[in-house]
Structure 1
């Protein structure tokens, strides 16, 4: 028997948002440190685990200055991508929840938390852009194309029927917010430029709460979907999860060229990323939290869903 409603753990909330959200309590100005040159002697622009090609012998041979430039390129690209993702994908997914566009009655606490999350994402876009602009100016990075993944994600919406588009928007947000990078969670102050470290930590602390929220909403929504829409959602999820782990190889080739590598050398450096099974390995490693949420919602109890993801190499058969 459960206790009084007031003593039960609240659902669909961001957990003491007023006292924990970065936009409410963090006062960082996100300016690059005055002792940046000294820090760069021993620290990185971005966690090496997220740019594994940086350890390639050809880059190592080129020297630390080249490695730092490539890492700066990658960080600016990542931050530009983050800014667009928060505005054009995640917050649009949140609007779907707030304004009741899904085929389910949305509980009031779920709407309130969604509005708080919307505010968080706007702040994440702001400080991501602030840091990106400083680093781009520092290295005179002018080649800042629109990340290919953004357009491919938005292509999922264009391909969906009008009736399925609200669900497609939600699924884009769900996958984005439940992909928690284990390597980023393990970053330490000593390894990264101080401003970048603080920015990533503040972002990740918010995202951990966002992930829990989207997991609960997914479980709620999946139970409410009719079987035919579940089947369409399963196929959309397969595509969306795959898209989140596809590298932007054309941009990467241009980045390596800016570091002085010709086409042949660049292809050697990114060879591992292009291996036939590399994509599935990235999905298996990076989508652990997403798959856990889907499992909790009984998504994989359906044999067709399990077979769909197994055939793609994303889960075991």
Structure 2
């Protein structure tokens, strides 16, 4: 690897971490509210933007209790996924920065921020687990298998040679931390159970700083990578981004079965959600910050890389 040159001096920090990071300044215990039953008369468990199938006529005709249970299922699934993602994917990615596994000299401030980010993610995993356990207990949700995306990401690592795995780990963290769910930033305390709302807001405030940091670090490493490594990294990025937006159909089917829908009805409910156009729209919208960081690093200046992503339908030609 070689050194990096920038037209502007990057920060490589998480800003005023001691006074802004949730783990440092928030005192929330993330216990569900005492007036939960009252809140559930008008509030939900999970932002409906991210579970569009909830609006399907078959679910709406089944009554609010069915929709509410499906929201709870999705929240527990999302929080279990978050706990595993933070520990097994993102923090493993951060280790490649903090411990110099990518064979490039790491600026001290970048290393310090990596260790701060590692701490953030450990706390995110903790409060995600705590809230998931409470909601799962209310609804007796006990079929909590490892989310398919986690298995697929870890499975990808197993196919890569040990020498190339640090690069793959780093890219997985980069994609994860730059996929910012912008729609969640628009939620209000009137739409969700108060504990869930506060948890998501606190998490997202941290993640906004993580996204900026990983965008800068990606630019640093992309410039430092030898040209011969660029094509390999581009192929890895394409596979990783697609994996992050692959729906977990087996889990969706189990969730719908838990409220009494048979296989035929379940496939009918999620049919629109699984359409290629819908998938492409979710990917393009969800990965907009990822693509912006790649563009800033001049990733798409390479014609081969641009065609690779264009042919996959991830960007316009």
TM (norm. structure 2) is: 0.96
How far residue 104 of structure 1 moved from its aligned partner, in angstroms, is 1.5
1:134 is the counterpart of 2:134 = yes
2:242 equivalent in structure 1 = 242
1:100 is the counterpart of 2:100 = yes
Task: Return the alpha-carbon distance in structure 2 between the equivalents of residues 34 and 89 of structure 1.
Answer: 34
What are the ranges of 5 or more consecutive residues in structure 2 without an aligned counterpart? 1-7
The answer (yes or no) to whether the contact 1:180–1:286 under 8 Å persists in 2 is: yes
How far residue 103 of structure 1 moved from its aligned partner, in angstroms, is 2.8
How far residue 10 of structure 1 moved from its aligned partner, in angstroms, is 6.4
How far residue 9 of structure 1 moved from its aligned partner, in angstroms, is 7.2
SS at 1:277's partner residue?
Answer: helix
2:89 equivalent in structure 1 = 89
1:224 equivalent in structure 2 = 224
Task: Return the alpha-carbon distance in structure 2 between the equivalents of residues 39 and 274 of structure 1.
Answer: 32
Two-structure CA RMSD over aligned residues (Å)? 1.0
Aligned residue runs from structure 1 range 64-213, under 5 A? 64-213=64-213
The answer (yes or no) to whether the contact 2:52–2:273 under 8 Å persists in 1 is: no
Change (3 A) 1:23 1:142: same
Over 2 Å off, 4+ runs: 276-279
Task: Return the alpha-carbon distance in structure 1 between the equivalents of residues 54 and 203 of structure 2.
Answer: 24
Give CA deviations for 1:130-152 in whole Å, capped at 9, x if unaligned: 00000000000011011010011
Aligned residue runs from structure 1 range 36-47, under 5 A? 36-47=36-47
Give CA deviations for 1:16-35 in whole Å, capped at 9, x if unaligned: 00000000000001000000
2:266 equivalent in structure 1 = 266
The answer (yes or no) to whether the contact 1:103–1:225 under 8 Å persists in 2 is: no
Give CA deviations for 1:50-74 in whole Å, capped at 9, x if unaligned: 1010011110000000000000000
SS at 2:237's partner residue?
Answer: helix
Task: Return the alpha-carbon distance in structure 1 between the equivalents of residues 188 and 277 of structure 2.
Answer: 30
Task: Return the alpha-carbon distance in structure 2 between the equivalents of residues 9 and 128 of structure 1.
Answer: 35
SS at 1:195's partner residue?
Answer: helix
Task: Return the alpha-carbon distance in structure 1 between the equivalents of residues 274 and 10 of structure 2.
Answer: 45
The answer (yes or no) to whether the contact 2:45–2:196 under 8 Å persists in 1 is: yes
Aligned residues: 310
Give CA deviations for 1:256-278 in whole Å, capped at 9, x if unaligned: 00011111110110001221333
Task: Return the alpha-carbon distance in structure 2 between the equivalents of residues 213 and 122 of structure 1.
Answer: 17
The answer (yes or no) to whether the contact 2:21–2:206 under 8 Å persists in 1 is: yes
2:251 equivalent in structure 1 = 251
1:35 equivalent in structure 2 = 35
1:3 equivalent in structure 2 = none
SS at 1:163's partner residue?
Answer: helix
Q: Which moved more, 1:236-245 or 1:8-17?
A: 8-17
Task: Return the alpha-carbon distance in structure 2 between the equivalents of residues 221 and 25 of structure 1.
Answer: 31
Task: Return the alpha-carbon distance in structure 2 between the equivalents of residues 90 and 24 of structure 1.
Answer: 20
The answer (yes or no) to whether the contact 1:14–1:210 under 8 Å persists in 2 is: yes
How far residue 239 of structure 1 moved from its aligned partner, in angstroms, is 0.3
SS at 1:222's partner residue?
Answer: helix
Q: Which moved more, 1:297-306 or 1:159-168?
A: 159-168
The answer (yes or no) to whether the contact 1:280–1:312 under 8 Å persists in 2 is: no
The answer (yes or no) to whether the contact 1:30–1:127 under 8 Å persists in 2 is: yes
Task: Return the alpha-carbon distance in structure 1 between the equivalents of residues 51 and 239 of structure 2.
Answer: 24
TM (norm. structure 1) is: 0.96
What are the ranges of 5 or more consecutive residues in structure 1 without an aligned counterpart? 1-7
